[in-house]
Structure 1
Amino acid sequence: MEKTKILWINPINVDAYDQPMGEFIDTIRLPGTEVEVISFRGSIPLNNLEYRTFEAMTVADTVHAARYADEQGFDAAVIGCFYDPALEDAREISGKTVVIAPCQASVQLASNLANNFSVIIGQEKWRAQMSERIHAYGYGSRLASMRSIDIPVPDLQKDCEYTAEKIIDAGRLAIQEDKAESLILGCTCTFGLFETVQKELNVPVIDPIVAAFKSAEFMGSLKKQFQWYPSRKWTSAAPPEELIQSFGLFKNPPSIGNRYLLKEAL
């Protein structure tokens, strides 16, 4: 069987999450899937995108990474942040590479498993931007609530037992008070915790890395089997190549600071 190649983009300027996320992805990937996990190289050591200001600093690198994914023959690319930063921009320039993002993948999956969902967010700051995304995707009517655990992104993996306890407490309130039928963990840095929470609360608990990565694998396989590539008609059209060249948009290599590779499993 022809292998599937997936690029996982950590849209930050530090490599702290590349190996841990790569190791987690290694536990869920199919045998025929190759994965490259990357983060960016930048003068500002951004280790989270909790603020729109931080996100704005990484948009150009994310777009360039999507272009790189197509040039290197990746079947799919994942933007590894639950804000889905620069998703539409990356899709416009990704050629034949399908671009996936965690929020969209998670709400799609949760809606296949339940009539509604609650999102467990790290901080209240996230609420407005994530709500906007979910409503823009057409899933606003399925959003039962958002519950904050008051833990910033850099601290989510510092004490996983404590983080899981906070998620369980917030999830229980979402189920009992907001009538949530499923839960979505609203940050990719909660990876590895969903099974503990799910066992305790007995509802589907969506890990956004799992949702996004498995969606990327699935879309990559559909692309190979049925030639379902991203559309380039009308509003999905990419910038004309002659303009890209005249502006010198991608004359320099992408700003990749680190790579973590997972070759095809034997």
Structure 2
Amino acid sequence: MHRFVVLLMLAAVIGALAAAPGAPWRTARAEDGPVSMVVEPQLDGSQFVTVVFHALDRDGFCQPPPGAVSLHPVLNMPVDFIIEAGDGVIIETSSGGIAPGRQATGVRTFSTAANAAAGSPVRSFPPLRDGVADECQAWVRISQSIPGPLRVLVLAPGDGGGQVGWVAEAGRETATTVPLQFRWTLVTWTGPATAPAQALQGVSGAQVTAIYGWETASQAWLAYFPAGANVPGANTLTSLEPGKAYWVAIAGPGGGSWRMPSAR
């Protein structure tokens, strides 16, 4: 699983927006307020995207310990998730199943500590802050059958009224499928900088035996041999770079294909 965080892990902490009732949205920082709240998209390599809301009160609690009182409670907080743009349908929330649609309102935050001890816990995610034993979370699961941009507006109650909002750019990357022929195929890597072993996970129907890439700086060919991945010094090609061409050899006699992500 990829954390768009943090989980980038893929994680991209999304910039917050805040607005008073009836006022236009304006840029704000969640950490400037009394409550720590953030949103992150999670990609799991399939057609599903999960948008997760994380929250702690100003003292770092989801639910305060016995005898303490939270002046800014974030447990059982209603959170709205609205798909503003892109292909996608919300099919599930942390509060339970719903009729599929483009928005889910009033999704209540839950305690990850209490949830973990429950008989039938719901899915939860690692906290954004290391060492936190209890975090308030709320999430929605989105089915995005067609990869591409996906913008989700997330709204939570603001301190002193109104709402605080985040725009999560959570779309799945589009992909390019390149045919591979026996024995050699010249391909252009379309994804971000990626280790060869990881990149080759997108190959199907063929066994790649070698990849060669020309390095201009050293005026030399760099090579990667999957069979020599654990042999010290056998491989000099350590990363496939976006937009660069590579010669790829496959074992015969048939062909195959290579599904490459698109660089962002």
Q: Same fold (TM over 0.5)?
A: no
Q: Report the TM-score range of the alignment, normalised by the length of the smaller protein.
A: under 0.3
Query: Whose relative contact order is higher, 1 or 2, with alpha carbons under 8 Å and at least 6 apart?
Result: 1
| Structure with max Cα Rg | 2
TM-score by length of 1: 0.24
User: Which is strand-richer, 1 or 2?
Assistant: 2
